[in-house]
Amino acid sequence: MAATSILPGVQTAVEVLTARFGAQLSTSAAVLEQHGTDESWHPPVLPDVVVFAESTQDVADAVRICAAHRLPVVAFGAGTSLEGHIAALRGGLSLDLSRMNALVELNVADLDVTVQAGMTRLALNDRLKRHGLFFPVDPGADASLGGMASTRASGTNAVRYGTMRENVLSLTVVLADGRVIRTGGRARKSSAGYDLTRLFVGAEGTLGIVTEVTLRLQGLPEAVSAATCAFPSVTDAVEAVIEVIQSGTPVARAELLDETQIRACNAYSGLGLPELPHLFFEFHGTPASVQEQAEYVATIAASHGAAGFEWATAAEDRTRLWKARHDAYYAGLALRPGAKGWATDVCVPISRLAECLGQTKVDLDASPLISAVVGHVGDGNFHVLFLLDPGDLTQQEEAARLNVRMVRRALTMGGTCSGEHGIGYGKKDLLIEEHGEAIEVMRLLKTALDPDNILNPGKVVDI
Amino acid sequence: MAATSILPGVQTAVEVLTARFGAQLSTSAAVLEQHGTDESWHPPVLPDVVVFAESTQDVADAVRICAAHRLPVVAFGAGTSLEGHIAALRGGLSLDLSRMNALVELNVADLDVTVQAGMTRLALNDRLKRHGLFFPVDPGADASLGGMASTRASGTNAVRYGTMRENVLSLTVVLADGRVIRTGGRARKSSAGYDLTRLFVGAEGTLGIVTEVTLRLQGLPEAVSAATCAFPSVTDAVEAVIEVIQSGTPVARAELLDETQIRACNAYSGLGLPELPHLFFEFHGTPASVQEQAEYVATIAASHGAAGFEWATAAEDRTRLWKARHDAYYAGLALRPGAKGWATDVCVPISRLAECLGQTKVDLDASPLISAVVGHVGDGNFHVLFLLDPGDLTQQEEAARLNVRMVRRALTMGGTCSGEHGIGYGKKDLLIEEHGEAIEVMRLLKTALDPDNILNPGKVVDI
């Protein structure tokens, strides 16, 4: 599956990179294969060369060399992207940031931290725990924080704490010509000029390469409680969540798993739940407020037909529950051993969620494909995982058909073609359908910041 | 004080605008004067012509005409900016959006609303009340929501609900060539492409003209309580707030007024408080959680020397209290009849707030100028209002000196040169000091989106 680089002068560029990076550089087949492969359904597309950066200076030097030789450069974190974000579509350099995994500066009093882009979210939370703090954004995978910033990631806590959009305070970014900038300071708010931080959050490495991330942190809540309950249908579950959100209850997590996903999690994580659509809730606050929230939500859920309310009061039960939820993707894959997963997501205004999800379930039930649904339904965001036989083009076409129908349905409802996975090169056409004329502004930005199109070319927008 | 336009072809452009807009266009001296004047210390700088837009199409047509004639175009909302944002530095068209004050679409179930850019925040909240909803962002003035988006405004509720950065879901924007785009949909989150919404939020009309704003709303809290208390010093008050924020208590408002500002508010709004530094708090939630928060905060405040805890339990008492806080700027002006106000603000990480504010107070106390301090201290943001004799250049130079010292102090502490007022043309040099090399990225954005520099030229960044 290796890509044959179409660019002239690659050899010269690799020689210059080798002279600068020595043992930090690799062209071994295994390393190239790993760096051309993410967790998506897209086939691997390999780079010509990999450099393991150890500092912002390394990144700046590598980008400067690439710029001089017009060599594409693709940033690589944990390799957990879901739309081919790290595929080296035009060959070139994969710049691996995983060794840049240091905690640069923790400000406990200000509830902020600066980390290098390669630190993962679990490693960060491990460092924060002793200070009574946590970082709430939690995609399923143990992604790198630079990668999470670059895909505008979110997860189960977004309904309460927001996504990377709200939780990144500022960034260190290497520009397409190798210059290094800071996008902001540590103040909680600022009206000082254009919002450079949000320009790079979600840009998927196409406008610059994120090397350090300053994040807002949260205090670990004094009290936490979690609960699961089963519903007669996905629609009943969604309607319960809508009522909870509209009531203003500050629920910390509200996750939907359909009957297929429950079966998968039972098998993979030993949850032992009835094979029905479920909601998983979590509440954060003082002991009194947690109890107040939980009781209120239980009443609403019951009025929508919920049964089998199970409280996870012990910390280890909660850990097992949320570990199972974070492993939902891997559990889904295990439903069909040897299968390739195709994960997609949309997000709609919450008033349209029951309708959007209901119609999508009808589509999925009518298809011969095996699929599972999970959702951060408190945000109006849900995921479908298709399980495909590798190499079966008919199945792949069927997944593509269902995916396009689901996205177009979401767009007609005021929604978006991706709530948290991003565009990569899998949703570029759908991005155009979503944004219309505004896509031209995205192209203007890309051209202004990366005139030679060396930064992750072929992703997000084509120029 | 009228500017003499330096541009050739103004007369032709005005003729074309007159043909298109007829009675919606004015060149009367009073109208020009009004549209060259904001609430800042900057002298009025008048446009050549004013058009009162009544639709996005009007804005698009006006911009297209201006583009054809290279005529500068400055968007005008309520005229409440504080750094000369609306000054027609190079003459041209002032595009008044105040007639575009309609509510376009309210989605109660989704807690969002779309309004035309000219609607003001008080008018919006008046419309929302009957639905049990409110929009929390509240600068002192009754600004237009398009203007608030364009300056990334915030206010007293930001500590709990965020600023315009977090509360704008999407925008309709007229680009420099007259094209109209939507920056996004109504989904709560999206990973679909570059963050165009945040590109225009805070851009002060220099990258495009905002004509419609889609906003996140909040449910009116079930219970509200407010309190005031006095402290021996500003530093004691700030340290109490820091402890409250660090505890994770979800306080809705935490406002500081120094002894001068209290004197001003007593005189202007009849508050009758002792002339000492005060904190004003507000708590939102269920009755139980509001009581829990209030008791906890009272304990912390007392441990920092707070006295005279006064509870505003009746709704009318709270309204009077917050009305007085919102009128702080006008109260300050009234301290010195005939004075011109110079309002400035900075924002720092909260751990540095006591030090930053303490050193600033030493500077202010040592100066002959009269000044008052108020602060959204829960965010690390505070304001100084200098009261100047109009035309006294020595006083103006002294205010400038104190302002630069305060901003540089904030920058060395990881802060920003403006927490919520913006740059206009008053803080362009300080913006460069804050952002360093990153200012070049701002210039790239400006050049890409407005190559002929017709949109509010001379503001934020020079190209």
| Nearest residue in A to B109, CA atom | A351
Let me know if domain B223-329 sits in CATH 3.30.70.2190: yes
Strands A93-96 and A49-52: parallel
Q: CATH 3.40.462.10 region(s) of chain A?
A: 221-422
pLDDT of residue A14: 96
Q: What is the mean pLDDT of residues B3-9?
A: 56
pLDDT of residue B7: 59
CA Rg value for chain B: 22
pLDDT of residue A314: 86
Domain A221-422, CATH class in plain words: alpha beta
Provide the token pair at B80: 């409440």
- Write the DSSP symbol of residue A448: H
CA–CA separation, B301 and B453 (whole Å): 51
Q: What is the mean pLDDT of residues B308-322?
A: 88
Taking only the tens place, the pLDDT of each residue in A86-104 is 999 999 999 999 999 999 9
Count Cβ atoms within 10 A of the Cβ of residue A298 and give its class: 0-12 exposed, 13-18 middle, 19 or more buried: middle
| Nearest residue in A to B182, CA atom | A438
- pLDDT band, very low/low/confident/very high, at B36 (cuts 50, 70, 90): very high
CA–CA separation, B199 and A54 (whole Å): 31
Taking only the tens place, the pLDDT of each residue in B212-266 is 999 999 999 989 999 999 999 999 999 999 899 888 889 999 999 999 999 999 9
Q: Is the pLDDT of residue B4 over 70?
A: no
List CB contacts of B1: < 8 A, sequence separation 6 or more.
B36, B43, B44, B45, B46
Residue showing tokens 């004067």: B33
Measured in angstroms, the CA of B23 and the nearest CA of chain A are apart by: 32
Of A189, A347, A444, the CB nearest to B163: A189
- Cβ pair A36, A94 in contact under 8 A: yes
Cβ of B188 within 8 Å of Cβ of A246? The answer is: no
Helix (H) or strand (E) holding B341: strand B340-347
CATH dotted code for A10-99: 3.30.43.10
Q: Is the pLDDT of residue B381 over 70?
A: yes
A350 touches chain B (CB under 8 A): yes
| Nearest residue in A to B148, CA atom | A191
Best B105, B131, B189, B283 member to test A by mutation, with max A CBs in 10 Å, is: B189
Measured in angstroms, the CA of B304 and the nearest CA of chain A are apart by: 17
CB interface of B with A, residues 426-455, below 8 Å: 427, 431, 434-442, 444-445, 447-449
Instruction: Return the number of other C-beta atoms located less than 10 Å from residue B15's C-beta.
Output: 11
pLDDT of residue A309: 87
Angle at B49 between CA B47 and CA B55, to 5 degrees: 110
Per-residue pLDDT of chain A (463 residues; tens, 9 = 90+): 444 455 567 999 999 999 999 999 999 999 999 999 999 999 999 999 999 999 999 999 999 999 999 999 999 999 999 999 999 999 999 999 999 999 999 999 999 999 999 999 999 999 999 999 999 999 989 999 999 999 999 999 999 999 999 999 999 999 999 999 999 999 999 999 999 999 999 999 999 999 999 999 999 998 999 999 999 999 999 999 989 988 888 999 999 999 999 999 999 999 999 999 999 999 999 899 899 999 999 999 999 999 988 888 788 999 999 999 999 999 999 999 999 999 999 999 999 999 999 999 999 999 999 999 999 999 999 999 999 999 899 999 999 999 999 999 999 999 999 999 999 999 999 999 999 999 999 999 999 999 999 999 999 999 9
- Cβ pair A334, A260 in contact under 8 A: no
Q: What is the mean pLDDT of residues B283-310?
A: 92
- Cβ pair A436, A442 in contact under 8 A: no
Q: Which residues of B touch A292 (CB under 8 A)?
A: 286, 288-289
Measured in angstroms, the CA of B27 and the nearest CA of chain A are apart by: 31
Cβ of A154 within 8 Å of Cβ of B247? The answer is: no
Write A127-134 long-range contacts (CB < 8 A, 24+).
A127/A103, A128/A217, A129/A220, A131/A106, A132/A219, A132/A220, A133/A108, A133/A217, A133/A218, A133/A219, A133/A220, A134/A217, A134/A218, A134/A219, A134/A220
CATH dotted code for A103-219: 3.30.465.10
Number of H helices, E strands in chain A: 17, 18
CA–CA separation, A78 and A97 (whole Å): 8
Measured in angstroms, the CA of B58 and the nearest CA of chain A are apart by: 19
Taking only the tens place, the pLDDT of each residue in B395-414 is 999 999 999 999 999 999 99
| Nearest residue in B to A347, CA atom | B187
| Nearest residue in B to A284, CA atom | B248
Q: CATH 3.30.43.10 region(s) of chain A?
A: 10-99
CB interface of B with A, residues 194-233, below 8 Å: 194-196, 198-199, 201-203, 207, 218-219, 221-222
Strands A370-376 and A253-257: antiparallel
Provide the token pair at A61: 């030097």
ipTM of model: 0.96
Domain B336-432, CATH class in plain words: alpha beta
Residue in A180, A317, A192 with CA at minimum distance from that of residue B346: A192
pLDDT of residue A429: 98
Best A40, A188, A408, A409 member to test B by mutation, with max B CBs in 10 Å, is: A188
